Structure 1
Amino acid sequence: MRIGFDNDKYLKIQSEHIKERISQFGDKLYLEFGGKLFDDYHASRVLPGFAPDSKLQMLMQLSDVAEIVIVISAADIEKNKVRGDLGITYDVDVVRLIGEFEKKGLYVGSVVITQFAGQNGAVQFREKLEKRGIKVYQHYKIEGYPSNIPLIVSENGFGKNDYIETTRPLVVITAPGPGSGKMATCLSQLYHENIRGTKAGYAKFETFPIWNLPLKHPVNLAYEAATADLNDVNMIDPFHLEAYGKTTVNYNRDIEIFPVLNAIFEGIYGENTYYKSPTDMGVNMAGNCIIDDEACCVASKMEIIRRYYTAVNKLVKEEATENEVYKIELLMKQAKITTDDRKVTVAAKKRAEESGVPTAAIELSDGTIITSKTSDFLGASAALLLNALKYLAGIEHDEKLIRPEAIEPIQDLKVRFLGGKNPRLHTDEVLIALSLAAVSNENAKCAIEQIPALRGCQVHTSVMLSEVDIKIFKKLGVDLTSEPVRSGLKLY
């Protein structure tokens, strides 16, 4: 894939820009950190060259001035809310985040439990953290938030919240996921700092939408596709246009909440001399680091197609609504693309039409497309991995890396002893079998060593896959899509 983003430039100018913003506010800035810190794969897909941990690397450049506060909602603790990408609950993820930050040399000052109302789960979580020596603060629900400004900006509003003790000029407010209360935590701190005579500032750091790209730029359309389930909509920032006569892009929720934020700022400071628009509040410099716009456009269009397939697969599994699919279809029309613009999609569907069985296709980093089909021994995905690894290792296609007599006992185990109905090997099983074969087979050993070359490759299958296969492709770093077809029948 062509590189379209200068990651080194991004790390440099982004950290410098945040330092400039700190200096504007008397050396105390609360920075609401949106999106994923450790594994922002969406950004790395639509901005080729953007490292998935770029935000973390940028923070590490500010480690001497930065303090991290992690926010979690008591309501999310109580209902055991799960991070879909990691499969762990939010409270478990808070503990994970603390460990990950500290491993990188970043200082985690405290954890804030928002929406606290004495929930048992939240109390137990607080006690668990305190036993580990972690400071925990509590913020409470405010009736009428965010509209009841007189109550919010009063002793009975933000005034009831614990004041978070911080020691560094940059306080990064992050959370396991959306809806945790990051913005309210920042605003509460501004209120308390003002009472203590400190004119602290607030800023927001979110990569998307990119404010200085056109509204309908594919990178921004891809963000809308990624948030189709939230019904986020990119919009021209009317406040910025009115104040400066310049067109910038923001999204509906920030634009809708800005008049309320402005009123809260006025309630705290008496007047808001800092920000005239939602765009003013942002510190994102990603748009200034795009070095090949066409490469980013192509990558973003492919991401929109991937998001479409994700949505239609979720619809088949009754995990999404038709509106989510309709929205992405509209975005595809705006981007002037169809599913046929993704090469592996066309290849997998063509092979399926020719063979009449489930098939798969992969596009390697050199543009080569390899296909596979279901056989007596292997599912299409498992066969695809073997075919791709053989090609990458320079091994003839007809070469058998795993002997049939080595596969048969595994099939027997699955069906006779484990009650399975499908004797064919899944992706995880074929990789284990290949690893065992590598002990005595030099070709199998060479094939195994090619696994890292699969990262970033594109895969499409003619049928929906099992959770096992989906997880293996994810671990391999492969961008996977599937036709919304189950058991050979089109359900969508």
Structure 2
Amino acid sequence: MKIGFDNEKYLSMQSEHIRERINQFDNKLYLEFGGKLFDDYHASRVLPGFAPDSKLRMLMQLADHAEIVIVISAGDIEKNKVRGDLGITYDADVLRLREVFQERGLYVGSVAITQFSGQPAAINFKKKLEKLGIKVYILYSIDGYPSNIPLIVSDEGYGKNDYIETTRPLVVITAPGPGSGKMATCLSQLYHEHKRGVHAGYAKFETFPIWNIPLKHPVNLAYEAATADLNDVNMIDPFHLEAYGETTVNYNRDVEIFPVLRAIFDRIFGKCPYQSPTDMGVNMAGNCIIDDEACCEASRQEIIRRYYQAVDGLADETKTQDEVFKIELLMKQANISLEDRKVTVAAKKRAEETGAPAAAVELDDGRIITGKTSDLLGAASALLLNALKDLAGLPHNLHVISPASIEPIQKLKTSYLGSKNPRLHTDEILIALSSSAATSDAARLALEQLPKLKGCQVHSSVMLSSTDKKTFQKLKMQVTCEPVFEHKKLY
């Protein structure tokens, strides 16, 4: 993939800008980290060159002065919301993030459960964390939020929330994903700090939408596609336009909450230090795009992938029709179609030719490799083997795994483990390839090509099994599927 983003420039500019913001406040700064602080794969996909751990690396430069509070919504706990990129639930990700931060030398002070209204799963999660010795604080749902400012900024609003005890001047508020209540946590803390006579400040570190590129830039449209389930909408910041006469981009939730933030600051300082939601931000990503067209193309591809995630989710009833409609609209705004994804065209063509499920991968150099369904292998497994053989420079008709070694595995699956599908999944074919590598130079050479699959695009003409999806995910390949079940069985 062509590089379009200068990551080193970003780290330098971003850390310096945050230091400048910290210096504007005396004792305490609550820094809301929008998006993902770690494993920000969306940013790395739409801004090729952006490292998934860039924000974490930047924060480590401030480690001696910072502590982290991880925020999770009680509603997300209750419905077992899953991170699409990692395939784990938000509550599990809280524990994962805590371990990652601590391994990097960052101090995690506590976990905050937001939007609480008595959800049993949230109560159980709180007990689980406390048994592990983790401090947990509760922030409640507030009637009329965010418009009923007199109630919100009162002892019956933010005042009902637990006060999160912190010990360091920079408090980073982060979460497993969007909609977790990070900003509300910051504002609640400002209210409590004011009651305690502490002069605290607030700033927001949100990578998307990027405020200083056009509203309908593909990078910003890709952010809308990524948050289609939240119904986030990018918009011109009206407060910034009124205050400075400058057009900048923000999103609806920040614009909607700004009057609340301004009212809180008015009560704390007598005057709000910010004229607009854009003023609150500290994001420098827009200044580090070095190849706009590379980022545009990467973002257009991301929108298509998000569309496939939505229609696949509609097929298995994990997504809604509204999400599909929204992303379809974004595709029109970006002037793209499904045919702009090369592997989609290739996989569908191969499926038509063979009359069976097929899959395609685009290698790093642009070559398209396909795989078809056979008696021994599913299309995904065949694709994986074909790609590895091609990368290794091996003949297509060479058996790097002998059919004789596959047959015993099939018998194990069907005769002893009760599987109705004798074809090998991707994880099983990789294990068979690993076993063959001990005695076959060709198999060993093919196996050594696995790292080259990272970032490659894959498309399947049918929805993949969870096993195959996870294998591609572990290989860091970017997969889409047609919203078609291979077998039309009700059970």
Q: Please give the TM-score of this superposition, normalised by the length of structure 1.
A: 0.94
Which residue in 2 is equivalent to 1:258?
258
- How many residues are aligned here? 488
The answer as to whether partners of 1:304 and 1:328 remain within 8 angstroms in 2 is: yes
Query: Structure 1 residues 421 and 161 mapped into 2: Cα distance closer, same or farther (>3 Å)?
Result: closer
Structure 2 distance, partners of 1:317, 1:73, is 25
Following TM superposition, by how much is the alpha carbon of 1:130 offset from its aligned partner in structure 2, in angstroms? Answer: 4.1
AA paired with 2:297? V
Structure 1 distance, partners of 2:427, 2:479, is 16
The answer as to whether partners of 1:194 and 1:269 remain within 8 angstroms in 2 is: no
AA paired with 1:278? P
Structure 2 distance, partners of 1:3, 1:96, is 30
The answer as to whether partners of 2:357 and 2:486 remain within 8 angstroms in 1 is: no
Matched, 1:221 2:221: yes
Matched, 1:231 2:228: no
Q: Please give the TM-score of this superposition, normalised by the length of structure 2.
A: 0.94
Deviations 1:168-220 (A, max 9, x none): 22110112333432212211211222233332111111111111110111111
Q: SS at 2:12's partner residue?
A: helix
Following TM superposition, by how much is the alpha carbon of 1:167 offset from its aligned partner in structure 2, in angstroms? Answer: 2.4
Which residue in 2 is equivalent to 1:364?
363
Matched, 1:427 2:426: yes
Structure 2 distance, partners of 1:159, 1:348, is 57
Following TM superposition, by how much is the alpha carbon of 1:322 offset from its aligned partner in structure 2, in angstroms? Answer: 2.5
Which residue in 2 is equivalent to 1:317?
316
Q: SS at 2:300's partner residue?
A: helix
The answer as to whether partners of 2:373 and 2:379 remain within 8 angstroms in 1 is: yes
Deviates more, 1:446-455 or 1:20-29: 20-29
Following TM superposition, by how much is the alpha carbon of 1:437 offset from its aligned partner in structure 2, in angstroms? Answer: 0.6
Which residue in 2 is equivalent to 1:2?
2
1:446-457 counterparts in 2 under 5 A? 446-457=445-456
Deviations 1:401-426 (A, max 9, x none): 01111111111122222222221111
Which residue in 1 is equivalent to 2:242?
242
Matched, 1:184 2:184: yes
Structure 1 distance, partners of 2:162, 2:487, is 57
Structure 1 distance, partners of 2:297, 2:351, is 26
Q: SS at 2:114's partner residue?
A: strand
Query: Structure 1 residues 38 and 369 mapped into 2: Cα distance closer, same or farther (>3 Å)?
Result: same
Matched, 1:206 2:210: no
AA paired with 1:403? S
Which residue in 1 is equivalent to 2:59?
59
Q: SS at 2:228's partner residue?
A: coil
Query: Structure 1 residues 124 and 373 mapped into 2: Cα distance closer, same or farther (>3 Å)?
Result: closer
The answer as to whether partners of 2:76 and 2:90 remain within 8 angstroms in 1 is: yes
The answer as to whether partners of 1:463 and 1:488 remain within 8 angstroms in 2 is: no
AA paired with 1:237? D
The answer as to whether partners of 2:362 and 2:457 remain within 8 angstroms in 1 is: yes
Query: Structure 1 residues 321 and 157 mapped into 2: Cα distance closer, same or farther (>3 Å)?
Result: closer
Q: SS at 2:229's partner residue?
A: coil
Following TM superposition, by how much is the alpha carbon of 1:45 offset from its aligned partner in structure 2, in angstroms? Answer: 0.7
Query: Structure 1 residues 123 and 420 mapped into 2: Cα distance closer, same or farther (>3 Å)?
Result: closer
Structure 1 distance, partners of 2:405, 2:292, is 50
Following TM superposition, by how much is the alpha carbon of 1:51 offset from its aligned partner in structure 2, in angstroms? Answer: 0.8
Query: Structure 1 residues 43 and 460 mapped into 2: Cα distance closer, same or farther (>3 Å)?
Result: same
Following TM superposition, by how much is the alpha carbon of 1:58 offset from its aligned partner in structure 2, in angstroms? Answer: 1.3
Report percent identity of matched pairs: 75
Structure 2 distance, partners of 1:81, 1:359, is 31
AA paired with 1:471? K
Structure 2 distance, partners of 1:280, 1:211, is 10
Structure 1 distance, partners of 2:215, 2:476, is 30
Deviates more, 1:186-195 or 1:439-448: 186-195
Matched, 1:196 2:193: no
1:100-179 counterparts in 2 under 5 A? 100-116=100-116, 122=122, 125-179=125-179
Structure 1 distance, partners of 2:349, 2:381, is 19
Following TM superposition, by how much is the alpha carbon of 1:163 offset from its aligned partner in structure 2, in angstroms? Answer: 2.7
Following TM superposition, by how much is the alpha carbon of 1:88 offset from its aligned partner in structure 2, in angstroms? Answer: 4.0
Q: SS at 1:229's partner residue?
A: helix
Query: Structure 1 residues 73 and 217 mapped into 2: Cα distance closer, same or farther (>3 Å)?
Result: closer
Q: SS at 2:97's partner residue?
A: helix
Query: Structure 1 residues 222 and 430 mapped into 2: Cα distance closer, same or farther (>3 Å)?
Result: same
Structure 2 distance, partners of 1:355, 1:486, is 17
The answer as to whether partners of 1:452 and 1:476 remain within 8 angstroms in 2 is: yes
Deviates more, 1:325-334 or 1:76-85: 76-85
Structure 2 distance, partners of 1:154, 1:394, is 69
Matched, 1:31 2:47: no
AA paired with 1:198? V
Deviations 1:276-312 (A, max 9, x none): 1111111111111101101001111111111111111
Query: Structure 1 residues 459 and 124 mapped into 2: Cα distance closer, same or farther (>3 Å)?
Result: closer
Structure 2 distance, partners of 1:320, 1:80, is 14
AA paired with 2:425? H
Structure 1 distance, partners of 2:275, 2:69, is 27
Instruction: Could you tell me which runs of 5 or more consecutive residues in structure 1 were left unpaired when the two chains were aligned.
Output: none
Following TM superposition, by how much is the alpha carbon of 1:84 offset from its aligned partner in structure 2, in angstroms? Answer: 4.6
Deviates more, 1:80-89 or 1:313-322: 80-89
Which residue in 2 is equivalent to 1:337?
336
Which residue in 2 is equivalent to 1:374?
373
Following TM superposition, by how much is the alpha carbon of 1:20 offset from its aligned partner in structure 2, in angstroms? Answer: 0.7
Following TM superposition, by how much is the alpha carbon of 1:453 offset from its aligned partner in structure 2, in angstroms? Answer: 0.5
Structure 1 distance, partners of 2:117, 2:370, is 56
Query: Structure 1 residues 300 and 165 mapped into 2: Cα distance closer, same or farther (>3 Å)?
Result: same
Query: Structure 1 residues 314 and 82 mapped into 2: Cα distance closer, same or farther (>3 Å)?
Result: closer
Query: Structure 1 residues 392 and 62 mapped into 2: Cα distance closer, same or farther (>3 Å)?
Result: same
Structure 2 distance, partners of 1:131, 1:465, is 38
Query: Structure 1 residues 170 and 343 mapped into 2: Cα distance closer, same or farther (>3 Å)?
Result: same
Instruction: Could you tell me which runs of 5 or more consecutive residues in structure 2 were left unpaired when the two chains were aligned.
Output: none
Query: Structure 1 residues 327 and 132 mapped into 2: Cα distance closer, same or farther (>3 Å)?
Result: closer
The answer as to whether partners of 2:36 and 2:175 remain within 8 angstroms in 1 is: no
The answer as to whether partners of 2:146 and 2:256 remain within 8 angstroms in 1 is: no
Q: SS at 1:263's partner residue?
A: helix
Structure 2 distance, partners of 1:120, 1:347, is 48
Following TM superposition, by how much is the alpha carbon of 1:165 offset from its aligned partner in structure 2, in angstroms? Answer: 2.6
AA paired with 2:290? I
Structure 1 distance, partners of 2:120, 2:368, is 54
Deviations 1:87-140 (A, max 9, x none): 444443322222111100001122223345666655554454445443333334
Structure 1 distance, partners of 2:248, 2:406, is 58
Q: SS at 1:485's partner residue?
A: coil
